């Protein structure tokens, strides 16, 4: 479900960017021979629209697949960490977000500073997602290991 939504968002974004870029590319490629008649302008725009739609569809498919694979890999990695640790909590989501952000930064050949900022932002977003997942688990009556730890500290009159 999440991969499909990510793919649709990527496809929409890819189509928009592909159409915008191909429009400018078509203008630059044909700037030396612009039409001079009304009929010429009609066929110029007709061909331009065709080129824009084809390019937009190609970019939509490409970016939709990238987004879908990225979202799928994030949730698959989160599930793998959940399964390995035998618990579902925000730490697994945060770790998965950091790993995916680091991998993305490495694939894109970012500098160390850019990669660090990329991982920092990815970890923060994953932390927010993980805490919201934990809030939903708790609201349905689920059990959270760190809630028990805070309750134990509160009942034992713990003083620093």
Within 13 Å, how many C-alpha atoms sit on residue 116's CB side? Answer: 3
Domain ranges of the chain: 1-72, 87-143
Eight-state DSSP code of residue 37: S
Give yes or no for a contact between 68 and 14, defined as CB atoms under 8 angstroms apart: no
pLDDT at 47: 96
Q: What is the pLDDT of residues 103-135, one digit of tens each?
A: 999 999 999 999 999 999 999 999 999 999 999
**Whose CA is closest to 135, among 76, 84, 90?**
90
Distance CA 43, CA 45 (A): 5
Predicted model pTM? 0.80
Q: What is the pLDDT of residues 55-100, one digit of tens each?
A: 999 999 999 999 999 999 999 999 999 999 998 889 999 999 999 9
Other C-beta atoms closer than 10 Å to the C-beta of 3 total 17
């Amino acid at each position: 479900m999440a991969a499909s939504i990510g793919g649709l968002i990527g496809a929409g974004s890819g189509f928009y960017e592909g159409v915008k870029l191909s429009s400018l590319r078509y203008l630059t490629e044909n700037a030396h021979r612009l039409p001079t008649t009304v009929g010429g302008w009609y066929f110029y725009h007709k061909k331009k629209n065709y080129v824009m739609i084809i390019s937009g569809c190609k970019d939509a498919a490409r970016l939709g697949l990238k987004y879908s694979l990225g979202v799928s890999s994030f949730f698959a990695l989160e599930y793998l960490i959940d399964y390995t640790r035998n618990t579902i909590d925000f730490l697994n989501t945060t770790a998965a977000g950091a790993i995916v952000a680091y991998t993305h930064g490495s694939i894109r050949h970012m500098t160390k500073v850019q990669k660090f900022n990329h991982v920092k932002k990815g970890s923060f977003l994953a932390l927010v997602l993980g805490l919201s997942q934990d809030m939903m688990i708790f609201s349905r009556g689920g059990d959270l290991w760190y809630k028990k730890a805070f309750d134990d500290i509160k009942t034992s009159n713990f003083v620093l």
